[in-house]
Amino acid sequence: DFYPFFCLIESMFQNSGHVNFEISKKEFMHFRVKNSVCLVHHGASADYKFKVPNDDKGRIALVQRVLRIAEREGDYEGIKKVFFIKGDTHSYEQKDLGQFTFHTFGTPVTGDEYANALALESTPTQNALLLGDGKDYDTIHITF
């Protein structure tokens, strides 16, 4: 549903050398920002049935597996911080699990087919992860 919106935002920054976009429809992707690696996994959806575990042990095992895949595919030498980000539960969560920081980001959408089927009633939100050069970071959590 947001694909045209993402294309619009991408076009707004097309002449900015410091902003790069990769609009992905994949279940999982990874990228580097400064000295951090971001592992992004949608989680369950109408198209993907895989659910990110709710328990810490399951999350750690998943992130370790996904990080090994990312390290094979990308240049992640000198990484100081790992972030795992998902959005399938339409809620907000941030948890430090030692080796990485686990984030669930909300959505500005309410009433979509996936959320309605699972009775996911949440406050519409937009989240941002701001990364520094070291291990420093901040999150912005905006509700509508």
How far apart CA 37 and CA 104 sit, in angstroms, is 16
| pLDDT for residue 1 is more than 60 | no
The pLDDT > 90 percentage for the chain reads: 33
Q: In this structure, what is the dihedral angle of CA atoms 125, 53, 35, 5, given to the nearest 10 degrees?
A: -40
The residues with which 53 forms a beta bridge, in sequence order, are none
Cα–Cα nearest to 27, from 69, 60, 58, 55: 69
> How far apart, in whole angstroms, are the C-alpha atoms of residue 12 and residue 8?
6
pLDDT of residue 18: 79
- Measuring CA to CA, which residue among 78, 64, 87, 66 is closest to residue 32? 78
The answer to whether the CB of 37 falls within 8 A of the CB of 79 is yes
pLDDT tens for 71-125 read: 999 889 989 999 999 887 777 889 999 999 999 887 777 766 666 676 766 677 8
Residue whose structure tokens are 């050398």: 17
Tell me if residue 143 falls in helix, strand or coil.
strand
Q: pTM for the full model? A: 0.81
Is residue 47's pLDDT more than 70? no
- Predicted pLDDT of residue 38: 94
